[in-house]
Amino acid sequence: MKDFLVGFFDKKKPLGTRFLKEQKGVAAIEFAMLLLPFFILIVIIIETSILIYQNSIISYMGFNAASYASSFNYKEGYEEKYKEYLDSRKNQFLAFVKPERLTLKLEYCRNLKELANNSCTGSPQENALVIYNLSYHVNPLFPLAWIDKRARYITSSNIFFSERRDSILDKEEKERLEKLKALTTQST
């Protein structure tokens, strides 16, 4: 300890060399200690970039396919038109997205009340609102056991008004139209 203090307070040596003695192999030890954290950082950056790309592609393709499918009449099939759009554009997003991992679910709501209550029931013929849910099962490069299985899905949900549906109206709309007709006939 006495030698250390003498060397520390020695004014003849530069300040940087007072603390350390000359040692060999320090660079190899520092490299070995920093290699694994640096590698993990690079992997996290790559994994995050891939997940961001997949999320943006699923959202983009889900929205465009839903708007394309909703522009057709229900008789032509919303689901078929949705899949047709995805099939025609799948080469544009094949980089990190595998089309076989995509799942589509359609829901139909009669009005906004059903949509707000999350109780959509019905068929494409009589419902004005179509909910397109496109899910993609993500397989990360380095899956972690603690991640919840439900968190491995990217989902794009889009709600569209069925613009080209037939004139089949639900009861509320029929009653409203009948009252309106009755009022117009009474006023004339």
Q: Which residue has the tokens 């997949």?
A: 54
Q: Which residues pair with 84 in a beta bridge?
A: none
Inform me whether the pLDDT recorded for 8 exceeds 80: no
Range scoring the smallest mean pLDDT among 32-41, 120-129, 140-149 = 140-149
Give residue 102's pLDDT: 85
Calpha distance 45→141 (Å, rounded): 12
Sheet holding 129-137, edge to edge: 102-109, 129-137, 153-161
Calpha distance 86→91 (Å, rounded): 9
Give residue 34's pLDDT: 92
Inform me whether the pLDDT recorded for 143 exceeds 70: no
- The pLDDT of 55-77, averaged and rounded, is 84
Domain range summary for the chain, segments of one domain joined by +: 25-186
**Whose CA is closest to 47, among 127, 184, 130, 143?**
143
Q: What is the pTM for the complete model shown?
A: 0.65
Give residue 166's pLDDT: 47
Concatenated DSSP letters for 42-106? HHHHHHHHHHHHHHHHHHHHHHHHHHHHHTS-GGG-HHHHHHHHHHHHGGGSTTT--GGGEEEEE
* Residue 124 · residue 135 · CB < 8 Å: no
**Confidence label for 10 from pLDDT (cuts 50, 70 and 90):** low
Model pLDDT for residues 78-136, shown as the tens digit of each residue: 888 888 888 888 777 767 777 788 888 888 887 778 888 888 877 777 677 888 898 88
